[in-house]
Amino acid sequence: GSDSGAQRHMAAALVFRLHDRGPELVREVLLERGWEEYDSQDHEDQDWNLYWRGSTFSSLEYRNLLPWQRLNHHPKTVGITRKDFLVRNLRRMRATCGSSLYDFSPTAFILPNDYTRFLAEHENLHLSRERSAYWICKPVDLSRGRGIFIFQDLKDLVYDGPVILQRYISDPLLVSGYKFDLRIYVCVKSFHPLTVYIHQEGLVRFATEKYDLSSLRNLYAHLTNTSINKLGPFYTAYKERVGPGCKWTMNRFRHFLQSQDVNELLLWQRINNIVTLTLLTIAPSVPLCANCVELFGFDVLIDGRFKPWLLEVNYSPALTLDCQADFVVKKALVSDLIDLMNYSASDSLRQRKMTGTDQRLGPGPLPRPRLLPPVDLNRTHNDQQVRPVGYRFSHRSWRVLKSQNIKPTLSLIYSSMETEAPSDRTTGLREQHVPPVRVGDFIRTFPFNRATRKASQHTLDVKKVLQELQRLTNQLVPGQSEKTSSRRTEEELKKKSEGGEKFESLFWGLKDPPFIRPSLKRKENSD
């Protein structure tokens, strides 16, 4: 419509910068949207709006950010994306917040440190009925299935660097005998206040040989990484129900789920919970950076009783296009992500101002920046005073900086800003801001109601958030049979959302969730 036309026109001046020339998909999507690619010959050092890289940015890069520049990673998110840090953080949360909500990650040990503890656990299990406990060993800093093996017998545990040992979920849900996991795409729009979106599409990644606990060494049967399975002998073969290749779109998986006797709402809500609860482990310690956004890949395994388990969180989920499912899912994902970043006219105005390429703008104040004060990597949000001030940065200040050949860093800009004392009006505005429930296929899953919005507005009140999550989840837990309770809850939720509580933001399982599923209806009729 006219909106997207205006956006394309506005976007003509936006510049993206890719580290190491990739990912190609990001380039393709941004070029199609009318962006320009950064080129050190044509552009000044600071002349870009988005810098995308697969690896981490340095603290200097965060510190020197200019108001119009955005990065595709928040600082210090390694606390959930490195396997051993994630284990430690979840363990800490379990200890302080209890294990009733934090029960979604398989028991894990970090070796070599936890070796004795692991032995004790192993011994315990051996003495109890669970003789058949299986373990999976993963190097802490590798990805794509590299270096992973599964074992049952202690003598098979061999490692030569830091690894994590995790209870192997040995009864995964199978599709025609094949194991799979879900790749859930999560965008953290902001950590302060915590604002989280989950993409409705996503990928289901299959193993390419039938699941078989008697062949633990056959990685094609036990691991679901594409990088492994695409090298397997059955990758291209047509596999019962799964088809050729090793991926489904989430949409296809939803159709599969509808043929199962499962409380779907509860399943999706538990996945939402996993995402929120995992992010809560680091949210209070992530430094404030209003110019950052991040796309995480959460890997979730569903077991035979439909319980979702978190396997790991990926820092830079692969954006390569290997197969049809990738084409369908990833391109729309990147495009929705750019929409979610909400580039506005001021992003390009500032840029033109800096390079002096747009004389029509003339002297005068820049449009009011929407961005917050500079990133201080040593301070976290909860001990930092965030003043929602109105400010202006005068054109004169720019000229002075430029004439003295001083690089206009974010700190400099803010320190030379004419600040206005925060008025009730500006503070009020900030508090009233409710992030959209949906942008493209990104659905806001946090905050999900007024109480969680309030609990995350200033200092993050983790306890309150946990209470609200528990309350919501309880509404979905069946008191009676799965079928009736899931139908009743859908109706209750519908009523609630009509009454103004934005519970519909939690439905990311279905595009336009019907409140009574056709399959359920049919079953009831035939009952």
Contact footprint for ligand ADP (CB under 6 A): 106, 136, 138, 142-146, 148, 166, 168-169, 181, 223-225, 299, 301, 311-312
Report yes or no: 115 and 313 within 8 Å, Cβ to Cβ.
Answer: no
Kindly tell me which of 146 and 241 has the beta carbon lying closer to ligand ADP.
Answer: 146
Kindly tell me which of 14 and 169 has the beta carbon lying closer to ligand ADP.
Answer: 169
| CA–CA–CA angle 313, 317, 322 (5° rounding) | 135
Report yes or no: 363 and 471 within 8 Å, Cβ to Cβ.
Answer: no
Q: Identify the CA nearest to 280 among candidates 84, 76, 93.
A: 93
Q: How far is the CB of 103 from ligand ADP (least distance, A)?
A: 14
Which residues are CB-neighbours of 18 under 8 A, at least 6 positions away? 26, 27, 37, 38, 52, 53
Q: How far is the CB of 206 from ligand ADP (least distance, A)?
A: 9
Kindly tell me which of 163 and 293 has the beta carbon lying closer to ligand ADP.
Answer: 163
Q: How far apart are CA 262 and CA 458, in angstroms?
A: 38
Q: How far is the CB of 174 from ligand ADP (least distance, A)?
A: 12
Q: How far is the CB of 39 from ligand ADP (least distance, A)?
A: 34
Q: How far is the CB of 226 from ligand ADP (least distance, A)?
A: 9
Three-state DSSP at 287 gives coil
166 to each of 197, 229, 413, how far by Cα in Å? 28, 21, 48
Q: Are strands 15-18 and 36-37 parallel, antiparallel or unpaired?
A: parallel
35 to each of 6, 49, 226, 247, how far by Cα in Å? 14, 10, 31, 31
Cα–chain center distance at 270: 15
* 421 CB burial (10 A radius; 0-12, 13-18, 19+): exposed
Q: How far is the CB of 230 from ligand ADP (least distance, A)?
A: 14
Kindly tell me which of 18 and 302 has the beta carbon lying closer to ligand ADP.
Answer: 302
Two structure tokens written together for 34? 């009318």
Kindly tell me which of 167 and 517 has the beta carbon lying closer to ligand ADP.
Answer: 167
Q: How far is the CB of 138 from ligand ADP (least distance, A)?
A: 5
Kindly tell me which of 130 and 418 has the beta carbon lying closer to ligand ADP.
Answer: 130
Rg over CA atoms, the chain: 25
What b/e string do you get for 61-86 counting C-beta neighbours within 10 Å, with b at 16 or more?
A: bbbbbbbbbbbbbbbbbebbbbbbbb
Kindly tell me which of 245 and 447 has the beta carbon lying closer to ligand ADP.
Answer: 245
What pairs with residue 165 in β-bridges? Answer: 109, 137
Q: How far is the CB of 219 from ligand ADP (least distance, A)?
A: 9
Q: How far is the CB of 493 from ligand ADP (least distance, A)?
A: 32
Q: How far apart are CA 69 and CA 46, in angstroms?
A: 8
